[in-house]
Amino acid sequence: MRRVLVLGSTGSIGKQTLDVACRLPHRLQIVGLATYRDYKALSNQATSLGVRIVGLIEPPPNASIAGLTLYAGVEGLCAMAQRADVDIVVVALGGAIALQPTLAALEAGKTVALATKEVLVAAGEVVMRTARQYDAPLLPIDSEHSGAFQAMLAGKREQVARLILTASGGPFRTRSLDTFNAITVEEALKHPNWDMGAKITVDSATMMNKGLEVIEAQHLFGLELEQVEVLIHPQSIVHALVEFVDGSVIGQLSLPDMRLPIQYALLYPDRVDIALPRLRLEQVGALSFETPDPARYPCLELAYAAARVGGTMTTVLNAANEVAVRAFLKHQIRFTDIPRLVEQVMAAHAPQPATLENALAADRWAREYLQKSLPTHAL
């Protein structure tokens, strides 16, 4: 039996993790749940699953429920992640705020199943160093990275020549570029293939999501930036392709359903049937691939540019993007302002080497810097 703590349990990945655990009652036990501030949803989950340990980054004043142990703040989530009765920590909070709880889990030697890619973009070198130092397994939940991880098992790591991450292209793949200024929040939240939280759905529309994933892959698999490429694949069936030095290409395919990579990370290296819908290629028909157009997806270019600089530049890329996307979701800025503002913050940043202190300081600086220049009212 593996005892699982879910950080971000009220979100899309969090709920799907609970679904997977409920299908595997003899293999997985949910022992703790934590989220940002939705106390009501969290306590409902705890009651229905019989969980006694809960955490909130921003608890409402006087929050307490008889019979529940409540951990508060980022420090509280760090303490939860180090509890002796936790084996696996699922990290699925919405952003770089998950960095310290992730590090705390690794320092306690826990297995981390990581959905929150922002953690590796904010401080990938620090996280990977910590995982190695404490011999703590770090397994990806992101579907492309789970696919890459599985495909890489076909050879040796040093024999990997190239990794290709696929991207759906989002809802604006064929939209006329001269109408991008008029893109609404509602249009950006309509993803063609995946049902996800609001922030990652907007990131998929700008393709910053794929840029963050390129940086995530670089750290997870120890690859050079030039070895990680992106192809648009509108059907979202092939999640990643690994080319080995002999030219052989191994891919991972499945229907777009996050429960599969979640299950893989939680049971690794085991595989079981939890009755998820199966891929039937004859029903899918054609699979197509194309190169992303930089004019349509400037955020992807910004991510490569930040990764080329390295150090705290990727921390700043991520923090500025988190602030800009939340402002877009609140109708304070336009869709096309997202890359413009991220680029502005990157241009103002003097990058520092990748230490935890530098990353935390750069993250704070970028958020404050951008926040000051945002309009306070909706457009």
Write out the residues near ligand NAP by the rule CB under 6 A. 8, 10-14, 35-38, 41, 92-95, 97, 115-118, 142, 194, 196-200, 258
Residues contacting 129, CB < 8 A, separation 6+: none
Q: Using CA atoms, how far apart are residues 300 and 132, in angstroms rounded to an integer?
A: 29
Decide whether 37 or 129 has the Cβ nearer to ligand NAP.
37
Question: 111 has which bridge partners?
Answer: 88
Decide whether 142 or 363 has the Cβ nearer to ligand NAP.
142
Cβ 108 to ligand NAP, closest distance in Å?
A: 21
368 CB-contact burial (10 Å; exposed 0-12 / middle 13-18 / buried 19+):
exposed
User: Is 262:13 a contact under the CB 8 Å cutoff?
Assistant: yes
CA dihedral 352, 355, 361, 366 (to 10 degrees): 60
**Which tokens is 196 given?**
């996800």
Alpha helices in 82-234 (DSSP H): 99-107, 118-133, 143-152, 185-188, 198-206, 208-221
Decide whether 86 or 96 has the Cβ nearer to ligand NAP.
96
Decide whether 3 or 37 has the Cβ nearer to ligand NAP.
37
Peptide bond into 269 cis (omega under 30): yes
Decide whether 62 or 176 has the Cβ nearer to ligand NAP.
62
Cβ 62 to ligand NAP, closest distance in Å?
A: 17
Cβ 217 to ligand NAP, closest distance in Å?
A: 13
**Which tokens is 134 given?**
């404490």
Of 242, 155, 165, 202, give the one whose Cα is nearest residue 322.
Answer: 202
- Alpha-carbon torsion (374, 370, 363, 205), positive or negative: positive
Q: Give the CA distances from residue 48 to residues 18, 41, 141, 211, in Å, rounded to whole numbers and listed in that order.
A: 11, 11, 25, 38
Decide whether 116 or 315 has the Cβ nearer to ligand NAP.
116
Decide whether 31 or 200 has the Cβ nearer to ligand NAP.
200
Cβ 274 to ligand NAP, closest distance in Å?
A: 17
Cβ 181 to ligand NAP, closest distance in Å?
A: 26
Cβ 57 to ligand NAP, closest distance in Å?
A: 7
Decide whether 213 or 337 has the Cβ nearer to ligand NAP.
213
Cβ 96 to ligand NAP, closest distance in Å?
A: 8
Pairing of strands 238-244, 160-167: antiparallel
SS3 12: helix
Cβ 135 to ligand NAP, closest distance in Å?
A: 25
Of 232, 118, 370, 63, give the one whose Cα is nearest residue 72.
Answer: 63
Cβ 177 to ligand NAP, closest distance in Å?
A: 26
Residues contacting 330, CB < 8 A, separation 6+: 378
State which residue has the least CB distance to ligand NAP: 11
Decide whether 36 or 243 has the Cβ nearer to ligand NAP.
36
Q: How far is CA 261 from the centre of its chain?
A: 12
**Which tokens is 210 given?**
């794929």
